[in-house]
Structure 1
Amino acid sequence: MSPSNARPLNLLAAAVGAILLLGSVSDASAQSARERSEQRRERQGENSSSQATEDAYPDATREEPGTKASSRMSQRLQRMVDYYDKDEGDKALEVANEIMASDKANEYDKAFAAQISAQVHYDRDDSAGAIASLQQAIDYNGLDNNGHYGAMLMMAQLQLQEEQYDAALSTIDRFFAETRSTNPEHLIVKGNALYRMERYPEAATVLKQAIDASPEPRNDWQQMLMATYFETGQTAEAAALAESIAAKTPDDKRAQMNLAATYQQGEQFDKAAEVLEGLRASGQLTTDQEYRQLYSTYLNMDGNEAKAAGVIQEGFQKGILENSFQNNLALAQSLYFSDQVAPAIEAYKKAAPLDDDGETYLNLARILWQEDRVPEAKEAARQAKAKGVRSAKDADTILALPGG
């Protein structure tokens, strides 16, 4: 008698869930003070002197206002910049607010002050404050196109980072409508917003446009496109893209893991196993999830239960696989269905106490009964009833056996 009532593990879903996806939104909190300082000076330089920089938006529909800093505000503007450069944010904000409130300030003065205010808030990881200030800079409409649309793009990225997806999409749509940009760095922001909103077909179109327009598309862009293919069931497209990424970056573990997950999604388990075994051979499978991805691949291939058991046993021996119910049950099932009954019984004994109910104890009782180990089978049946089973009939049948 086999343990016919054993509950199958959702191994494939767990394995495919191991895909690693990076978004393209910058994480402000991950940047060092030096990086932020360099970025803010670059932005400041771009936006304060349009004549000294290349026009980043040559096809923009907006006519540049041509307004420059007013002579009446020049000292305050310089003082604000000086405070900002010296990382005296509170003082820079105070002056910026004075400029924005002044009747003597023109649109450029106020827009530039709002931009500096946004940078101070950004440096402090205050995304809400930065977004509000960027909106002010845009509304004042006083910056040149580089500064005006740079503020709009930054606002869209921050809205995306703050999971304000509708607002981010609205901002980036306005950006494209006015700039007519085809820059892949800009397109990826829209693609990311659509992806986060689960508008996958639209996201795939924009992401592919960005990738095709880039001479060296970033891996995380391609991984996001691959994820959209997953979500829309385009497994062949996902596999082709994953293969391309993995071929270009053979030493990138994430790319290899994604390739394996793609093969699993397309039920090409032999290819998935080959990729994962290559990583295991080089010692790159280092987490519980990664070992589960490999052994679940074998469990989805007929006649490979022994290989699955070997992977699980190695994972336990190395201390990588957790002593969880799922892992112990997978080992028990792998051993049992590869005709390694004695070690399977020991694995069931480890799994059963970790189960939420008595079903695993009941399967253990069935196997012990099959092996004529009646006293042990009865004890397992008693444990099963104590923990609770869907039907007590099988347990009672074993408990009614003679002997023991």
Structure 2
Amino acid sequence: MKHASLKMLAGAAFALMLASTPALANDNSSSSDQQKAAPLYPNATRKEPKLDLTDKKEQQALNDGLTAAENNDKDKATQLLQPIATGSKSKYAQAMALQGLARVDATNNNLPAGIDKLKQALTNGVLPNDAYFQLKYELATFYLLNQQYQDAINEAEQWRSEGKKETPESYALEGEAYYHMKKYPESITAIQKAQSMAGDKADPRWNQLLMLDYSESGQTDKAAALAKQAVSTSPTDPTSFHNALSLYIQSKNYADALKLMEQTHIEGKIPFSENDYVTMAKLYMNDAQSDSNQDPSGDTTKAVQILQEGISKNVVKPSAENYMLIGDANMIGQNFNDAAAAYQKAAPSASDGEPAYKAGVAYVMANQYSEAKQELQQAISKGVKHKGKAYMALAQANIGLKNKAAAADAVMEAEKDPETAAQAKKWLKDANIGN
């Protein structure tokens, strides 16, 4: 059974993005006031240099520029920070301006330029430890977003080692980098470390990344267990619902997938999309065709009903594809007239004669041979994927109409198709027609 790939989980956007980096280091206080505040990196191995920013006017311009960058006012940030980055006598002011300009580069989707600016800011040697390590962590994030995954890991590990500081977010960053490098065991270890450190405050996106790690490393049972837990914890979250659904289907656990969809549909806490309605119908049809199902009509009726509900709500498009699906469900349930009616609704917007062909077959099964002949002739005229099968079905319709000559003509056409040649030859031989 086909379904959207588990890659839909990646739509949750695991990248930490700029929101997960520390805020830009606005310097709204004097250096003496800063020294009174508790340092963020009290055990850092790096010796903290003395600040060299003394110009009050420049300090205010720097603060205003960093605030503009934080607020995504790119023009104002660039106007205020660029002169400081290129012309200030203070290396500290230059470095902080470069950080603000790097943020502007990131919002302009120019991560390489932002990386260069952050590296330049870090090498000037005058940043206080709080600002220095903040920039190092931001550089690790930039590397991750720029798909420089090993660089991101190296920078994060150096940040922890030199700054003597550990955070759940830094391990989550490594976990994502390892995931993109397809190093799933390392990613799992890093994400689990982040979750254990964060406890109840763990970012839900980390759990989604862990699901991907388990799934893509063949541990779909663990991935499904995580997905089920996420659904129970957040029953109104569409992402958790779709994650669980995708994992159940990927692991061919169709019973639990259908149970989840039924429960979600009944509760009505998550609005169904067209894809949800179609997926639920296909799950019913899959269950109807399972070896253990002695009476498929119950499931196929549910499949039709769920699609019709979606159409009535203007969520499911009344397209040829969806009407074909309704027809297929009715065929499985042996509701041949309903199947033919659905296929006929699909025919006008279809690009070929497939709906008409299926309608013709449905009418043959319902012993309505005149309708079958009309549909099959229309299908052949419009073009079908299996022309020989269409002609064999047309022959059945003509037999039902007691028109043996027309049936023979149709079978001789089917004989020209390699797919049905042997079947057609046997029919003609048994009817004592031809050689």
TM range (shorter): 0.7 to 0.9
**Deviation of residue 236 (structure 1)?**
1.0
2:85 — aligned with what? Answer: 97
Q: Which amino acid aligns with 1:294?
A: M
Q: Is it true that 1:258 corresponds to 2:243 in the alignment?
A: yes
RMSD (CA atoms): 3.4
**Deviation of residue 272 (structure 1)?**
2.0
Q: Which is worse superposed, 316-325 or 89-98?
A: 89-98
2:192 — aligned with what? Answer: 208
2:117 — aligned with what? Answer: 133
User: Aligned partners of 1:45, 1:394: CA distance in 2, in Å?
Assistant: 80
Q: Is it true that 1:276 corresponds to 2:258 in the alignment?
A: no
User: Aligned partners of 1:261, 1:371: CA distance in 2, in Å?
Assistant: 37
* Residue identity (%): 24
Residue 384 of structure 1 aligns to a residue in which SS?
Answer: helix
User: Aligned partners of 2:129, 2:189: CA distance in 1, in Å?
Assistant: 27
Residue 380 of structure 1 aligns to a residue in which SS?
Answer: helix
1:3 — aligned with what? Answer: none
1:267 — aligned with what? Answer: 252
User: Aligned partners of 1:226, 1:47: CA distance in 2, in Å?
Assistant: 47
Q: Is it true that 1:67 corresponds to 2:36 in the alignment?
A: no
User: Aligned partners of 1:391, 1:272: CA distance in 2, in Å?
Assistant: 33
Instruction: Find the structure with the greater CA-based Rg.
Output: 2
Determine if contact 2:352/2:383 at 8 Å carries over to the other structure: yes
Say how many residue pairs are matched.
378
Unaligned ranges ≥5, structure 1: 1-9
Unaligned ranges ≥5, structure 2: 291-295, 404-435
**Deviation of residue 176 (structure 1)?**
0.9
1:60/1:354 CA distance change after superposition, 3 Å = farther
Q: Which amino acid aligns with 2:58?
A: R
User: Aligned partners of 1:259, 1:173: CA distance in 2, in Å?
Assistant: 33
**Deviation of residue 298 (structure 1)?**
1.9
User: Aligned partners of 2:188, 2:64: CA distance in 1, in Å?
Assistant: 45
**Deviation of residue 296 (structure 1)?**
2.3
User: Aligned partners of 1:25, 1:43: CA distance in 2, in Å?
Assistant: 25
1:230/1:357 CA distance change after superposition, 3 Å = farther
**Deviation of residue 366 (structure 1)?**
1.9
1:175/1:144 CA distance change after superposition, 3 Å = farther
Choose the corresponding residue for 2:177, options 177, 190, 193.
Answer: 193
**Deviation of residue 237 (structure 1)?**
0.5
When normalised by structure 2's length, the TM-score is 0.75
**Deviation of residue 118 (structure 1)?**
2.8
User: Aligned partners of 2:394, 2:259: CA distance in 1, in Å?
Assistant: 46
Residue 367 of structure 2 aligns to a residue in which SS?
Answer: coil
Q: Which amino acid aligns with 1:64?
A: K
Determine if contact 1:242/1:255 at 8 Å carries over to the other structure: yes
Choose the corresponding residue for 1:174, options 139, 155, 161.
Answer: 155
2:35 — aligned with what? Answer: 51
Q: What are the Cα deviations for residues 337-370 of structure 1, in whole angstroms up to 9, with x where unaligned?
A: 1122211111122234454543443232222222
Q: Which is worse superposed, 13-22 or 380-389?
A: 13-22
1:392/1:94 CA distance change after superposition, 3 Å = closer
1:339/1:236 CA distance change after superposition, 3 Å = same
Q: What are the Cα deviations for residues 287-313 of structure 1, in whole angstroms up to 9, with x where unaligned?
A: 101212322222222332222222112
When normalised by structure 1's length, the TM-score is 0.80
1:84/1:239 CA distance change after superposition, 3 Å = closer
2:414 — aligned with what? Answer: none
1:224/1:325 CA distance change after superposition, 3 Å = farther
Q: Which amino acid aligns with 1:247?
A: S
Q: Is it true that 1:149 corresponds to 2:139 in the alignment?
A: no
- What is the correspondence of 1:209-228 to structure 2 with a 5 Å cutoff? 209-216=193-200, 217-228=202-213
1:80/1:338 CA distance change after superposition, 3 Å = same
Choose the corresponding residue for 2:12, options 22, 31, 35.
Answer: 22
Q: Is it true that 1:310 corresponds to 2:318 in the alignment?
A: no
Q: Is it true that 1:291 corresponds to 2:277 in the alignment?
A: yes
User: Aligned partners of 2:97, 2:6: CA distance in 1, in Å?
Assistant: 48
